[in-house]
Structure formats: C-alpha cells, structure tokens
Structure 1
Amino acid sequence: MQHNTAACFLAFSHFYSANFFSQVMMPRRCLRLTVLCCAVLLAWNAQAQQSETPATEAAAAAPLKAEKPMQTVEVKGSGYDPRRDDTASKMVVGSEEILKYGDTNVTDVLKRLPGITVSGAAGRSGGEIRMRGLGSGYTQILLNGERAPAGFSLDTLSPDVIERIEILHAASAEYSTQSIAGTINVVLKKAVKTAQRDVKLGVGGGRDAFSSNGNLQLSDKDGIFSYSLAASFYRYDYHYENPKDRPALDLGYLPDGQQNLLRRITGTGDGRSEGINLSPRLNWAFADGDNLTAQFFLNGGRSDNRSHSRTDTLLGARPDYDTNDGTSGNHYVFGRTDLTWVRKLDGGAKLELGLRASATSNTADSHPLGYIDGVGLVLDRNVRVEASYSSLSSTGKYSTPWMPGHALSMGWDGTLSRREEERLQREQALPGGRPPVDSDEHFDADIKLLALYAQDEWDITPRWSMYAGVRWEGIDTRSAGDTFEAVQQRSSVWSPLLQTLWKLPDTKGDQVRLALTRTYKSPSTSNLIPRRSIATNNSQTEPDRVGNPNLKPELALGIDASYEHYWADSALLSARASARRIDGYTRQGLLFIDDRWVSTPINDGRANTQTLELEAKFPLRAVLAAPVPALDVRASISRNWSQVERVPGPDNRLDQQTPLSGNFGLDYKTPDGVLSTGGSFNFRTGGPVRITERQSAYTSPRRDLDLYAVWKFDAKNQLRVVVSNLLAQDFESNTSYTDASGTVARNGISTSSPQARATMEMKF
C-alpha cells in the first residue's frame, strides 16, 4: 500500500510540475481523468489494506478475543488556554479547525470564524478579509507576526502549511498597532513533535469551476536537529456568464426622475490559476536551552483570464466602446527567509533575535480590445506591468520576570523595503479610434519602518491580571517616478495600550476583560503615489484612479469590554462590545479633471464605529441531561454600526461596513471515530451605504452553507468530502453618483453554483 501510494503521488506530482513549469496546457478533461484515477486508486488501496488480513495474523489474533479486555484509564488535564488565561484578548484557531472543511484557500477558513467576514460573492475565491465589518487596511493581516508584503494574497496560501491563526481583538505592543479593527496573524507550521509523512490529493468542481490540489508533509528529528517540509500545489479553472435575463445595467435619471440612460451589459469570462507553496524549516535545540531556527517560504503561481462583454444602449448616450474583449495574465513569485535565535539567560530571562528577508516579483499583462458598432475595432492596447518588492527586517525581544508576578518584555522591529514598478503601454492607430497613447512609466519607492515597544504583564492577585504596553512606530516613505515629482512622507505614532482580566470571585469560569488602545492606519504606498490608472470606459461609476501624496495616517482611540463564561469542557459563552473614534478618516474622493472622472483618496474628518459580538460554543451534552448525540455546537453573531461625520445620513457607514454577520455550526463524531461530519451556515447583510454626499452603493446579503464528512478507513488513511455554497445565491452590487444634472448608476450581478470536493488523506 505504501509503495503504491507513494508511486501514485510521485507520478501525479511529476505530471503536474512538468505541466506547470513547461507551461504546456493539458486539456481539462485529461487532467480530471488523471486526478480522479489517482483518487480512486488510493481509496481502493486503503480499503484493501483494511480488509485484507493475512491468515497467520488472523490465527494469532483469534485466541486474544477470549481474553478479558484491558481496562483503559483516561486522564484529562486542564492545560493552558491562551484565550481563557492570557491577559491580552486573543482567540487561537488550531490546525484541526483550519483543515476541517478541506478548504483550498485561507479566506474560506476565516469566513467561519466569529466576527470575521469576507467580501464578495458566495462561492468565489478571494475577497477582502474584515473584522468588525471593516476592510481597506483597518484589519491588519500578518504572516508569522509580520505584515505581508505588497502583492501577496492569502488566497495563494494553502491551509495545510498553517499551524494556527491568532485573532487579536485589541492591539498588542509586540505587533504593529496598524490594527484599528483588529489583527489576524497567520502562523506557518513550526513545531516538530514526531516524525510525519502525510500526503493529500483532492479534486473538486461544480457547474462553473473545477479544481485540483495536493499536499505533502514531511518532518523528523535526529538528536538536537529537526526538520519539516510542507509542499502543496493547486489548480483552479473557472467560467462565468452574466445571465441574459438579468444583465448588468447602466442607468441614468434627470433631477425630475425622468430616465435618460439605459444600457444592458452581458458577458462571459473564463480562466485558470495555479500555483505552488513550499515551506521548509530547520531547527536546532541545544542542550543549554538555546534554539536556532531557519524557516523558508516560497509561493509561486500564474493566472490567465479571458473576458467578453457587450453593451446594448436602449436609451441615452452610448459608451466609448460597445463591445470589449480582453485577455490578461499574471505571474508571481514570493520568497521569504526567517532566521531566529532564542537564547536562555539567567533568572528565567530570554533573548530572541530575528532576521528576515523577502522578495516578490510580479508580471502582469493585459490586452484590451474595444469595438464600436458600425466601425469595428477602434482600441487595441497592450500593457505590461513589472513590479518587484524586497525587504530586510531585524527584530529583537528581551523578556524577563523582573519582579514577582511581573513578565516584562521589550524589543524593536526595523524594516527596510524597496518597491519598483515599470509600466509599458502600446496602442495601435486604428480608423475611427482615438489617437494612440503610448507610455513608458517607472517609479520606485523606499520605505523605512522602525518600531520600539515595551510591555509588562503582571498578576495583581490570583484572579486579577493587568497588561500595559507602549509602542512607537515611525514610517518614512520616499518615491520617485518619471511621470510625477519626487514624494516624501514621514509619520510616527505613539500607541499606549492597557488591558486587564478579572476572574470573578466565587465563580469557576466567569471573567471580564477591558482594553483601552490607540491604533492607527498608515496610507499604503499605492495610495501615496500620484500615478494614474486609466479606466477603459471612463464614467462616474468607472473612474480613473490616482494616489494622493498628502495623505496622513488615520488615528483611532478604542475601548473593548467583554464577559466570558466557561462552565464545562470546551463550553463558552461570551459577549464583547467595542467602540473606535477615528480621526483623519480616509475616503475615496471623485473629481472631474480634463474631461475625465478621477477617484483619489483624501482625509475627511472623523468617523465612529461600534460593535457588539455574541459567541457560544459547547458540546450538546453540557446543556442537556438526557442522553444525546456527541454534537458540538458553535454560534456567533456580530452587529456593527458606524457614522462618518462629514457625510450626511442615513446609511453614512464607514468603509461600506457590514452591519450584521453570524455563524452557526454543528460537528459530530461517531463513538468509534470512523465518521466525522458537520456543517456550517454563515451570513452577512449588505444594504445601502452613503459613501459621500454624491456617491452611494449597495450590496446584497450573502449566505453560505457548507457540509463536510470524513470517513476514516484506518489509522493512516481517510477520505474527506465537502459540499460548499449549497444555497448558490446570486450576489448583487450597485454604485451611483448624483449631482445637479441627475443620477448615474451601475447595477451588477454575479452568479454562483454549489461546489463539491473530495480529498484522500494518507500517512505513510
């Protein structure tokens, strides 16, 4: 069995790698047959190993059946729970929960967690990750405690290489305080406890998509040395079509309500994305307690897309192009190296030093074509963008129990990074078209970041602990290009932080938390650079985009309070309330410059946001005395409010904030452990939002229903089956602009379908 499994995996890996790196596209039907044959063979081998017992083994085992079975004694320890015992508010999601639904990207994992939402349509990969319903940089995303570089997306990260996900509702001095909404820290696998050799192969698909993925995990120890290797690949093919009976619409109305514009937009699209992840780790644990670790991460992939759209004008002015065709492609490579040395000192003190280097390369090509009825092809544009990002970071942390009951730590985080980008545009001169615009643009940006922090956590009494910290961050951004003057912006922020945990007297599991924080949001490099991105059909709802070098950081004062009740093993009820006051709020302004609509970010006064979250998780046996199945229940609901002071209401929400979201899930495992199954339902509301006095938007609600089942053949082989997006709801969005001349709006719709996925998981 082991030889057959390994041979099948190596054959499949060889097929995939040869296909990927040689860039020879195999027809989808052949790929499906190859992967399905591997999955069937692996399942058959696992079942055969379970059912075929040699006669000598059966004969030897027969006398044992008559013997008295050995008694089993189960010992449970309370252990350390960071969510319950840490003074700083933190929720930790382990690898078992991460892998439960066999997700192929991290965003699908995060959408099921309390208080987290993912924007976009159901059943589609990607989307913006949000805490408290806020995106656009308000939610901080970290990779191993460090901000991910520009151009890196969590969608390209396989859940199999993740050890845990940490959710920090209140800021911590140890991490960056660019976390107005909160922090999500994705920690890659590190610890090597026992030798491990795992292989996973999966296939999935639905009406409009097909995917395949594989994962290999290797780890072992030899004396003071240990190593681990995680490798994975994915491929995703998709096709979409705007329904002809419900097309996208461009609408226009005069001030008196009379309609003066009606366009129907239909189209299709298809494409493929594929990539690999490699995450090796080397570790030396010396006898004196010192530890040296080298961790590497490589992420590479490509995508190719084709699109077609047709605009039929029934009333009013026609667009610049009646028909748009286009192709686009993207190739990227991201690499990162972390070196960490931990030195044990006298008196329980510890020194941690880290050196990190990362590099990203991204090449994007696009080829839009525009047609006018009766004229023909009038736009033929080729654009290539080559971007690179590199950084070098140094971190240090010294921690010591400097007084009885106190745990003091202090440290630094310094980063030097550079971003370079070249954009080459060429257009053909065509009859009936506009004069061609050819351009060669280049810019580079140097970013320097330095952070210093100190924090102390102490136990005032056995039931009352306190956390106090302060962090200073300074950022210096300098950029220059051949189409704009050199830009430099410096900013620095002091962030005092205070958190406390009080375990209520005369109770076993009741406790309250309180946190006071000062956080901020720094402008992204792309928002600072005054380089214009051109829209094909320029309008109020599809404007050009340009950065603003005068942007300032947004500063926020926050308060968080929560109550937690633990009453049984793995049983929790909690309620959390929070509020943020944001000064220097950044929104997208819309201007009319040189006969074109241009969107640019601007600071615009103050905004306020409030959140109320309720969460419950418990085994059903903890609340019902009668014998019940071994069901684990989890549920959460979050309500968010916000107000932008300089935008008239109603619906003047911050950053199109999600007003209401929730999750409900059930998990069940049979007594013999052969079958595990469960389901998850999560939802989020949308509704209208007033972005500015003249701009408005609308998004429809989103509801996801996912089911999973894991059939365990034996200790080394199991099959995981998942059905996701069972509700297959359409997703609608709308943007509109209103001024003295009337209203212009665009309505869009995205369709989806249920997806099924099967993964064979083997240990050898």
Structure 2
Amino acid sequence: MPVCLPFFRVAVCGAAILFVCNTWAQQAPQDGPRPAENTPQAEPVQQVEVKGGAYDPRRDDTASKMVVGSDEMLKYGDTTVTDVLKRLPGITVTGAAGRQGGEIRMRGLGSGYTQILLNGERAPAGFSLDSLAPELIERIEILHAASAEYSTQSIAGTINVVLKNTVKTAQREIKLGMGGGRDAFSRNGSLQWSDKDGRLSYSLSASVYRYDYDAGGLHDSPALDLAYLPDGQQNLLRLISGGGGGRSEGVNLAPRLNWNSAGGDSFTAQFFLNAGRSNSHSNYHTETLLGARPDVDNDDSRNRTRQRFGRADLGWVHKLDGGAKLELGLRGMVSNSSTGSATLGDIDGLGLALDRKVEVGATYKTLSSSGKFYSPWMPGHALSTGWDGTVSRREEERHERQRAVAGGDVPLASDDNFAAHVNLLALYAQDEWDITPRWSMYAGLRWEGIATRTSGNRFEDVGQRSSVWSPLLQTLWKLPDTKGDQLRLALTRTYKAPSTSSLVPRRSISTNNSQFEPDRQGNPQLKPELALGVDASYDHYWAEGALLSARASARRIDGYTRQGLLWQDGRWVSTPVNDGRANTRTLGLEAKFPLRAVQGATAPAIDLRASINRNWSQVAQVPGPNNRLDQQTPVSGTVGIDYKTPGGMLTTGGSLSFTGGGPVRITPQQYAYSSPRRDLDLYALWKFNPKHQLRLAVSNLLAQDYESNSAYADAHGSMIRAGVSGTAPQARATMEMKF
C-alpha cells in the first residue's frame, strides 16, 4: 500500500494536468489569435534579434543560468568532473589538491546545500561524479537561483550534469590517455560514436578508467594529538604517522536513440550504465609520549567497494497547435553496492587487541515519471506546468564480526538491516513574460512533498512527512541606451531535506573513539532546513566574448542542521541536530575577454579570464568569531589564460585556482582549521591534422601540502588534532583520433 498510493496520486495529478493542458491547447486557436500568424505584435523585431542564432542562455534567459560546454570541459584533459568544476567561477572543491573525492560546493557551502543533478535528477546515494568521465557529458548547467522545473533542494545552487544527448553530425572518435605522478598512475579511454539514418539518430558514449595510488609509507600523513587541562598544563601528546594506497577502476556506457516522426513528435531512449570497484589499504601508528594510550596503537585496515548503477530514460515530446508542446518522461534507476572492511588493531608490547570485519550490501531502486506542458498562452507569455513523481526504495544489510582476542574487547556478532521508502511528488507552474523587448520576468511556484519511512531489526519504525511551497521570482532588465548591460534580480524559497541515512537511528562504531573519531548515529526527529534568498547581478558585455560581471546574494536559513557531539555511555557520538538560524552572504566578480577586445584585431589570439568570490556566514547559536556555516569557504578565485597560434595548430593555456581556508567555530565546543588550497594547471593541444590531435596537461604544479586541524574544548580541558597531507604534481597525455 505505501508504494501503490504515491503512484496513484502521481497518476491522478498527471491525468488532471494532461486533461487541462490538452483542453487548453485545443481551445487556444478558437479562444484567441495564434502568435506570429495572425497577430504581428506577438513577435517583436527586438525579440527575434536577441533570441537569434547567437543565443546565449547566460545572457538571454530570464532565469539565471551559466552553461559550460564540452569544449571547455575537455580543454585541460581532465579525467574527473571535479577537476573541471574547480576552475569555474563561484565553485570550490574541498580537500587536498591533486586528490580525488573532494566535495563540490557553491557559495562555499557543502553538506547537501549544493544540489548535484544527473540529467535533472539526483543520483543515488554512493554515486560519485569522479566515476563519470567528462567525455560523456554534453554540458554542465549552473543555476545560481532556483527554478520551478528542478527540485528546490538547492539552498546554495544547482549543478546539473547533462549527458550527451544530441546528434548533430556523424561522429566517430577514440581517446586514449595516461597520466601519473610521484604517488599515482592512471589510464583511461573513451569512445564517441554517433550517426543518423533518416528520422532515426543514435549515439554511444563509453569510457574506461583505472587509477592507482600509493601514499608512500608511514610518513605521508603525519598528525599530532594534544590535550591540555583547564589550567593550561599539557596532559597528552601523541604522534600519528601513516599512509596507504589502492586502486579504483570502472566503465561507463551511455547509449541513446532518438526518432522524429513525420508529425514533429520525437521519442528518445537514453541509458547510462556505470560499474566500478576499488580496493584500498591503510596503516596508522600512534606513539604516545604523554598521557593515556588510545584503544589501539596500530590500525591496519583493508577496504573493498563494488558498485553497479543503471539508469533508463524514456521521453516523448508531442507538438500541439499554437506552438504548444507536451513532454512526458519515465525513468528507472537501479544501484547495487557492496563494501567490506577488515580492521586489525594491536597495542605495542601486548599484541593483537582488535580483529573486526564489516560487510555492507545495499540496493537502491527508483521509478519516476515527469510531465511538462508548454504553451505561449498569450502574447509575450510562455507558460509551463508539470509534475515530478518518484518512488524509491533503499535496502541495506550490515554484518559485523569482532573476534575475541587476548586483552581486547568482548566478541561481537551484529547483523543489522534496514529498508527505507521515500516517495516524492512535486507540482509546479512557471511563466516567462517578456514585458518589453528589454525587460522580462520569470515567476514560478513549486510544491514538493516527501514521505520517508524506515524500518529495521534494531530500531522502531520511523516515519516522516514534510512539504515545502517554493515561490520563485526572477527578472532580467537590459539597460536602455546600452549595447550589453543588464541587471538581474531573483527572490527564492529553497530547502534542504534530511538524507535517508541521517534519519536512521543506527549507530556506527569507530575504532579509536574520541571527539575526532566519534560513533555516528542518525536522528529520526531531524527536520528540513528552509531558506529565503535574494540574488542580484550586473553584467556588462562590452565586446564579442567579453564580459564583466558582479553578483551578490544572501540567504536566511531556518532549522539549520549541524553535527552534534554527545557523550553517551562512555563514548563520543555524533548525530545531526536542528539548531536555529543561520545567515550567509556572497559577493562575486568575474571578467573574461579576448585580448583583441582591448588592442584590436592585430593582437594575438589570447583569451583572459578571472573571478573572485567572497563568502560570509553566521550561525546564530554559535558564538563568534569565525562561526561560519558548514565550515564555509571564505574566499575563492581563478585566473586563466588561453592562447592559439596563427593557423590554430597549437592551443595552450593555464589556470590558477585559489581556495581560502582559516579557522572556523563549528559549535561552542568544536573548532576546525584548514589551510588554503592553490591549484596551478597547464595544458597544450597540438592538432596534427583534422582527425588527430594530442593533448598534454600538468596539474597541481605547486604541490602544496594540505593542513587541517580540529579542536574540542570544554570545562574539563581541550584537545587538538593537527594533520598534514602531502601532494604531488600530475601529468597527463591524451591522444584523440577521429575515424
């Protein structure tokens, strides 16, 4: 019944929308004149000029959007999407330079504030964009302000990764690449195959990758544990050294079929298959010079991950009278993953004290439908209404075995399982209104309802329902008597729903339990965070390809969620809690232009670009200073240059990205610090002939070490953990061949 009921609701709502839309479309020619055919006012000359062949969504769309095409993404020969995103204005990637697995952030905010979509939908839990080759991507859409068509779980913004889906001309291309550095080596290959046969077009994108890394021994990631009594006397000093290595490899397949009927309808079938596996190992040794020893002095771990992900998208676009059209979509997604870990811990002089093995298997299944009706219902207006409905189920089994050893903990045999049902229904309407040739407005309203129910063998069933109304308003004004000056303003209401895992009251046990390695447990009482936002920007287009832009935004977040740290039953436990209000503000500046826009047509073919973003935030329940939201990145910036030789045989360039760090106060008792991050990347592209070219790239040339500190202080004293991670430059070479 819980699964069938949402389907029934989606079907009823969808049928109602379709009935209204079809009735409206059939009556439109009788109730009023058709645009452009009978009414000259319906198609002003100015609109045709702006929306013409040189259409730029960033410049011309009323709803704020920045689009990054495949040429820009492939420029540096990147093998991961995170490497592409780190160079874009206003986007940062956390962690050490040159390392995979960093968190993608807009406005410096992570932990779910930035919405990451794959073809307009959220990817399943555990899916990483690092496993997706840039060659499979058609474009990346960056939405600074929410729109009703996508989910409004986007307090910081939305990054929508769109897989290749168009066939303009026949294409056959193979790319083979390899790269490496002091501690890593990678190989990758990709295939692009597309063609047309009458009304049928088809394409196949495929990629394979393999990545090996070796942290280089016990001194790669040194750390210190320090503790002090309230009077300032030191009572703990531990030296931690360690390292590790591993391998990850995988394959991606993305076939697509498209058929256009004689009547103008189009049918699409797009599939995406991803399979990957990884193995890693690590060994850390703790030497206690002062104070109490940890639970184990040596921690030796082996980890294994296997994941398979499949997705199918079916779509139909039906053209109606008067320029209206109806879009229907059906999507299915299945993900299966298994992880295993084996941990051995021993105490110097006493031998083995810990022997633990954990096996986790999880499946994630989703079935969703969507519909959208578009109609130019009156002169100057473009109305869209639609729905999204999703039914998903996640099942997980966890088996933990801890063998009895002399001097160690008691044996443990734990078998946990849980199932989560998440049903989502969203209805929306939006209207784009061209008030004058230079002034347009976008108004949208979206309602999202989420019902979550989790059950397990070690906790009582947990159910939660929430719904959010999101009114949205955006406007674009092209300033009169200017060639390319324009202003944007957006007012939005967005939210962040708790993840399924954060609601499950199941505890995950850490090895060396402390304030820095606590047990983890979900909170079934967690509520969504709600945000009111305002965005404003000014763009100055002063020559072909030249832009100066300033952007400012602010968000007020109610029900802010942070990780609480508790002392329960002799152990530290971390659990998410709602904790009042938070505010965040952002100011961004961007410039890009060809040198010829300044020096004229005789200047060399050099393109310049630069951006800087400053972020501020305050959490009301945490005293300052540095009480930033979610360890927000305070400042980030990029500087880049591209040069093309006469004739275009050689293109080269470089990019320097900077991400600020500094201290942050997470809670009244918890503090953290991270060092700034600098990425210097260079590339060169040689075109031997129209079918063969070689791309070379060097990344992380500065090889900057990454430092991070955590601290905890209360009435009983303070404790500090300080660590550093080494990095190294990486070089890549890719041969690109068309046939």
TM-score > 0.5 by shorter chain:
yes
Residue identity in the other structure for 2:102: G
Cα drift, residue 555 of structure 1:
0.3
1:241 touches 1:267 (CA, 8 Å); kept in 2? no
Residue identity in the other structure for 1:585: Y
How far apart in 2 are the matches of 1:625 and 1:488? 65
1:242 touches 1:751 (CA, 8 Å); kept in 2? no
Residue identity in the other structure for 2:121: E
2:488 touches 2:536 (CA, 8 Å); kept in 1? yes
Which among 57, 63, 66 is matched to residue 91 of structure 1?
Answer: 66
Secondary structure at 2:508's aligned position in 1? coil
Give the structure 2 partner of residue 140 of structure 1: 115
Structure 2: 5+ residue stretches without partners = 1-51
Cα drift, residue 267 of structure 1:
1.0
Which among 259, 265, 272 is matched to residue 234 of structure 2?
Answer: 259
Q: Deviations over 1:242-265 (max 9, x none)?
A: 774982011101112211111000
1:216 aligns with 2:191: yes
Structure 1: 5+ residue stretches without partners = 1-76
1:403 aligns with 2:413: no
1:665 aligns with 2:640: yes
1:216 touches 1:230 (CA, 8 Å); kept in 2? yes
Q: Deviations over 1:316-369 (max 9, x none)?
A: 110000011110100000000000000000111000000000000000000000
Residue identity in the other structure for 1:407: A
1:417 aligns with 2:392: yes
Structure 1 segment 264-303 matched on structure 2, within 5 A: 264-303=239-278
Secondary structure at 2:95's aligned position in 1? coil
The count of aligned residue pairs is: 688
Give the structure 1 partner of residue 282 of structure 2: 307
1:189 aligns with 2:126: no
Secondary structure at 1:433's aligned position in 2? coil
Cα drift, residue 621 of structure 1:
1.1
How far apart in 2 are the matches of 1:685 and 1:260? 33
Structure 1 segment 299-698 matched on structure 2, within 5 A: 299-625=274-600, 627-698=602-673
Secondary structure at 1:83's aligned position in 2? helix
Residue identity in the other structure for 2:577: I
Q: Deviations over 1:119-170 (max 9, x none)?
A: 0000001111000000000000010011111111111101000000000000
How far apart in 1 are the matches of 2:472 and 2:628? 27
How far apart in 2 are the matches of 1:172 and 1:187? 17
1:242 touches 1:749 (CA, 8 Å); kept in 2? no
Which among 72, 86, 95 is matched to residue 120 of structure 1?
Answer: 95
Give the structure 1 partner of residue 200 of structure 2: 225
Give the structure 2 partner of residue 179 of structure 1: 154
Give the structure 2 partner of residue 722 of structure 1: 697
Give the structure 1 partner of residue 210 of structure 2: 235
How far apart in 2 are the matches of 1:78 and 1:613? 29
Q: What RMSD in Å do the two structures reach over aligned CA positions? A: 1.0
1:152 aligns with 2:104: no
Secondary structure at 1:438's aligned position in 2? strand
2:218 touches 2:284 (CA, 8 Å); kept in 1? no
1:254 touches 1:260 (CA, 8 Å); kept in 2? yes
How far apart in 2 are the matches of 1:447 and 1:756? 44
Question: Which sits farther off after the overlay, 507-516 or 615-624?
Answer: 615-624
2:268 touches 2:315 (CA, 8 Å); kept in 1? yes
Q: Deviations over 1:177-234 (max 9, x none)?
A: 0000000000000000111110000010000000000001100100010100001000
2:221 touches 2:725 (CA, 8 Å); kept in 1? no
Which among 688, 698, 722 is matched to residue 713 of structure 1?
Answer: 688
How far apart in 2 are the matches of 1:678 and 1:417? 45
Cα drift, residue 78 of structure 1:
5.4
Give the structure 2 partner of residue 41 of structure 1: none
2:204 touches 2:255 (CA, 8 Å); kept in 1? yes
Give the structure 2 partner of residue 761 of structure 1: 736
Give the structure 1 partner of residue 25 of structure 2: none
Cα drift, residue 625 of structure 1:
4.3
Distance 1:83 1:246, change over 3 A: closer
How far apart in 1 are the matches of 2:604 and 2:192? 34
Q: Deviations over 1:250-288 (max 9, x none)?
A: 110111221111100011201000000000001101121
1:338 touches 1:357 (CA, 8 Å); kept in 2? yes
Q: Deviations over 1:386-442 (max 9, x none)?
A: 011000000000000000000000000000000000000112111111101110000
Cα drift, residue 660 of structure 1:
0.2
2:539 touches 2:547 (CA, 8 Å); kept in 1? yes
2:218 touches 2:243 (CA, 8 Å); kept in 1? no
Distance 1:78 1:288, change over 3 A: closer
How far apart in 2 are the matches of 1:369 and 1:91? 49
Percent pairwise identity: 74
Question: Which sits farther off after the overlay, 624-633 or 512-521?
Answer: 624-633
2:418 touches 2:456 (CA, 8 Å); kept in 1? yes
Give the structure 1 partner of residue 106 of structure 2: 131
Residue identity in the other structure for 1:156: S
How far apart in 2 are the matches of 1:480 and 1:420? 10
Give the structure 2 partner of residue 203 of structure 1: 178
Residue identity in the other structure for 1:659: P
Residue identity in the other structure for 1:386: G
Which among 161, 165, 168 is matched to residue 143 of structure 2?
Answer: 168
How far apart in 2 are the matches of 1:245 and 1:714? 44
Give the structure 2 partner of residue 61 of structure 1: none
How far apart in 1 are the matches of 2:53 and 2:148? 29
1:280 touches 1:295 (CA, 8 Å); kept in 2? yes
Could you state the TM-score of these two structures normalised by the residue count of structure 2? 0.92
Question: Which sits farther off after the overlay, 671-680 or 620-629?
Answer: 620-629
1:497 touches 1:518 (CA, 8 Å); kept in 2? yes
Question: Which sits farther off after the overlay, 251-260 or 598-607?
Answer: 251-260
How far apart in 2 are the matches of 1:751 and 1:116? 23
Secondary structure at 1:479's aligned position in 2? strand
Cα drift, residue 241 of structure 1:
3.8
Give the structure 2 partner of residue 25 of structure 1: none
Distance 1:241 1:255, change over 3 A: farther
Distance 1:490 1:246, change over 3 A: closer
1:424 touches 1:439 (CA, 8 Å); kept in 2? yes
1:700 touches 1:732 (CA, 8 Å); kept in 2? yes
Secondary structure at 2:378's aligned position in 1? coil
